[in-house]
Structure 1
């Protein structure tokens, strides 16, 4: 069975959740310790995290979970056309121009002016296309991958690909698949023996949430969503040397808004609000993410307990029993509790080649919706679900 078409996995006009994997070219350790030269490129993981944080502040795409490894990244993303529809034309224009200014950095330093915003707003056809792209996961990944590749190539004084190419996408179709996939993503460093526990798994969503619980705050990487006056921009360009402009721009990029945030504030909340389970967009208004909508019917404290318990099972010869309170919730969403550890630790065995993630019945329903009989791997995962 061929790989599913992207149009079958997600569409910018429909709210959907997708597990995305982006690998470095030849799976080389371009964001870790190079096994040939011994040079450490681990600092690039923070480049990727901050770029994701910045994009989360302008795109109508929620970052639910992520893990940045030495030679690949995992992201669980939810596109939000409903949130994008609630933005004004001016908001759409400034958000787009922050990421795609359309001018050389040396001339305008990617700073959109009020005139730039008005020009885009007047072009209704172009604005409609831009609004659609802001809720498109493919455009989010493009805006994430390209700048990282350029920065790495410049640093290494080379040309060519940094990323392997087209990212792999898997649509997540139910809560059982979402919980298991999120746990798998958060435990990637532990599975790879890069960390002993989620507390040490830097550059994962679990680490960010744990650090936020401890009161950890960081400089925000969110874009400043205010255009500068056109006259002021012109004056700066005419009177300020290019090298000084570059220095000022570099300093501003470290914290564009001048604010500090909780380490997890740019991520989508983990727990859904039980009092608001409707289709309300829950638009975020502080400028750090697109919405305030959670994605699991599970408290963060319970998710953290289950995450830590699952992480410890890798050290045991035999899988222990899932704590009773957590086992009940796992069973309620249709996962075989006795297979929980196996499902998370050996995730590629069950969903590695599938274009869809979820219970077999949910996968079958999704396949039929797109004119297929079934999804690849649908039969092999049946043993993990009830």
Structure 2
């Protein structure tokens, strides 16, 4: 059965949450240790993480959870057209030009100038089109995948695909599905037997949140959202040798804003703010992410406790009872606590072929939205819910 059209799964003008998965071509370990040559490409995981962090600072899309593996990538995204609507035309223009600077004669000319921002902001038709793209998950994934492909091909001195094809997408339709999917994503390195402890699994959102709770900070990869004064850019190009300009540009790419941030500051907060209306945009003003809106009615402390407990249940046939203090959170979401371990560890059995994730009732409602009777996986998942 062919994959559904993107417009059937999500719309850039409607807030929705999507689990996206992108594989390397031929499932090769292009971001890990190549079994054929023995070369270690694990450093490319940080390329991908930093690129996601940079895109989170300019797109109207929240990164909720992620896991970067040796041959594939998982990321849970929430598009925010309400946040994009709050940006001025100039803000939309500088954000777009940071990601897509256009064709330049030299790399050192890739800094957007005030004149370019003003010219683009004044084109009402073009800005309206860009606004839609800034909250479009497909454009986010495209902006993530293409630069990584170019970098890897340049390094390997080859051409061709790095990623297998278009990313797989699953729409997450309720909080029960979101909690289970977040756990599944964060525990990918544990399921792959790369580690037995989420605290020792870098390049996952769980690792970033744990490190942040311990006070760890990193150099920010967020884009600088201030355009270069046109006169200053012209003077710099006239008076500075090309080699020096290229060196300056390379140094700025390492940390465009020069800030050091909490390791998880670019991720959406995990816990929804109490007392906040669901319709509030909660726009982030620090230029690190789209918004300050959380995504679960669970504290970070309880989430990490449940994550660590679930990580220990990986041995087939051995499943302890979920502690009562954690089981209540699952029951409140309609999840059968006795099936929680199975739901996360056997994710592919329940949702591997589905384009929708959630409780059977929520999946049924989403099927109606799409003009269908039901979604694939709906019946199988029903055993995990009450």
Question: Scaled by the length of structure 2, what TM-score is found?
Answer: 0.98
Deviations 1:62-95 (A, max 9, x none): 0000000000000000000000000111111100
Which residue is 1:245 aligned to?
245
Which residue is 2:362 aligned to?
362
Whether the 8 Å contact between 2:56 and 2:266 is mirrored in structure 1 is: yes
Which residue is 1:12 aligned to?
12
Deviations 1:292-351 (A, max 9, x none): 000000000000000000001114751001110110110110111111000100101110
How much does 1:235 deviate?
Answer: 1.5
Which segment is superposed worse, 12-21 or 235-244?
235-244
CA distance in 2, matches of 1:344, 1:138: 26
CA distance in 2, matches of 1:110, 1:381: 49
CA distance in 2, matches of 1:243, 1:340: 57
Matched, 1:301 2:312: no
Deviations 1:161-189 (A, max 9, x none): 00001000000000000000000000000
Whether the 8 Å contact between 2:108 and 2:242 is mirrored in structure 1 is: no
Which residue is 1:222 aligned to?
222
Which residue is 2:380 aligned to?
380
Which residue is 2:72 aligned to?
72
Which residue is 2:132 aligned to?
132
Deviations 1:78-119 (A, max 9, x none): 000000000111111100000001132615532100000000
Which residue is 1:193 aligned to?
193
Whether the 8 Å contact between 2:191 and 2:345 is mirrored in structure 1 is: yes
Whether the 8 Å contact between 2:108 and 2:246 is mirrored in structure 1 is: no
Instruction: Give runs of aligned pairs for residues 159-238 of structure 1, distance below 5 A.
Output: 159-238=159-238
Which residue is 2:347 aligned to?
347
**Aligned residues, how many?**
386
Instruction: Give runs of aligned pairs for residues 314-329 of structure 1, distance below 5 A.
Output: 314-315=314-315, 317-329=317-329
Which residue is 1:92 aligned to?
92
CA distance in 2, matches of 1:379, 1:150: 42
CA distance in 2, matches of 1:192, 1:242: 47
Whether the 8 Å contact between 1:335 and 1:385 is mirrored in structure 2 is: yes
Whether the 8 Å contact between 1:57 and 1:266 is mirrored in structure 2 is: yes
Q: What 5-or-longer segments of structure 2 have no aligned partner? A: none
Deviations 1:364-386 (A, max 9, x none): 10011111111111111111111
Structure 1 residues 256 and 92: alpha-carbon distance in aligned structure 2, compared to 1, 3 A threshold: same
Which residue is 1:109 aligned to?
109
Whether the 8 Å contact between 1:27 and 1:71 is mirrored in structure 2 is: yes
Whether the 8 Å contact between 1:12 and 1:135 is mirrored in structure 2 is: yes
Which residue is 2:291 aligned to?
291
CA distance in 2, matches of 1:215, 1:330: 29
How much does 1:5 deviate?
Answer: 1.8
- SS of residue in 1 equivalent to 2:365: helix
Matched, 1:265 2:265: yes
Question: Scaled by the length of structure 1, what TM-score is found?
Answer: 0.98
- SS of residue in 1 equivalent to 2:106: helix
- SS of residue in 2 equivalent to 1:380: helix
Whether the 8 Å contact between 2:108 and 2:245 is mirrored in structure 1 is: no
- SS of residue in 2 equivalent to 1:171: strand
CA distance in 2, matches of 1:358, 1:180: 9
CA distance in 2, matches of 1:93, 1:283: 18
Whether the 8 Å contact between 1:107 and 1:237 is mirrored in structure 2 is: no
- SS of residue in 1 equivalent to 2:313: helix
